[in-house]
Structure 1
Amino acid sequence: MEEFGYNRANGFMWIVHRKKKEHTFKKIKQTVSYATEVTAFVEKGKVKKIAGVKTKELMLWLSVVEVYVDESSAGKITFKTGTGLSDSFDASAFELGM
């Protein structure tokens, strides 16, 4: 990571990398691609207006535009794409390995 910033007043955050990164979350078998610059707005329980993050679905790369935790479904994280599709996963799928 080259740079990280957060504007507390409006919730805007950014991350800058030297090159594009891909990561596969093994527990859910999802590959995610991070552009050299990722931006978003952060608020309680939600990251919205995400730019620079894509997920691979059936050979297509779809932009992830929102990630949120719904209080009514504790332990689940929902990812929403620019096409309106969404999917929820157990939060444990994103825990760091020991």
Structure 2
Amino acid sequence: MASKTIEIHRVGAEIFRGDDAMCKKKCVEVLEEKKTEHTFKKVKQTVSYAGEVTAFVEPGKLRKIAGVKTKELFLWLSVVEVYVDESVTAPGNKVTFKTGTGLSETFDAAAFALGE
């Protein structure tokens, strides 16, 4: 069902592939370039990215994410939603990650800055 929904929305979506400069720019914006697994040291969280990551993008929010997992203890849980609490003014913004199991965790947004 989820893949059918993604295919329906893919028709009108911007799709970036290959070595195109715009594709590389988008990859850096969304993921750390050429990593399949990354540990965010400030929050001690390990995240795994599939070869294809899809999400519905809204201002301050990614929903129906596919292809991203986070490690909790010994389990890998799918991340299905990420959003920024915009009611808090910068630099104190918070980022909340929700998993498919209904668990969520909130962190300081600064922990996810490029180069961290």
TM-score by length of 2: 0.66
Decide which structure has the larger Cα Rg and report it.
2
Find the aligned partners of 1:48 and 1:70 in 2 and give their Cα distance: 14
TM-score by length of 1: 0.77
User: What residue number does 2:22 align with?
Assistant: none
User: What residue number does 2:107 align with?
Assistant: 89
8 Å CA contact 1:11, 1:42 repeated in 2: no
| Cα displacement (A) at 1:78 | 0.3
Greater strand share, 1 or 2? 1
Determine which of 70, 73, 78 is the counterpart of 2:96. Answer: 78
User: What residue number does 1:22 align with?
Assistant: 37
Greater helix share, 1 or 2? 2
Residue 52 of structure 1 aligns with an amino acid whose one-letter code is G
Q: CA RMSD in A?
A: 3.0
User: What residue number does 1:56 align with?
Assistant: 71
Unaligned runs of 5+ in 2: 1-8, 19-26, 28-33
Q: Which runs of 4+ in 1 moved over 4 A?
A: 10-17
Unaligned runs of 5+ in 1: 1-6
Find the aligned partners of 2:77 and 2:85 in 1 and give their Cα distance: 22
Find the aligned partners of 2:52 and 2:74 in 1 and give their Cα distance: 23
Calculate percent identity across the aligned residue pairs: 72
Determine which of 40, 45, 52 is the counterpart of 1:37. Answer: 52
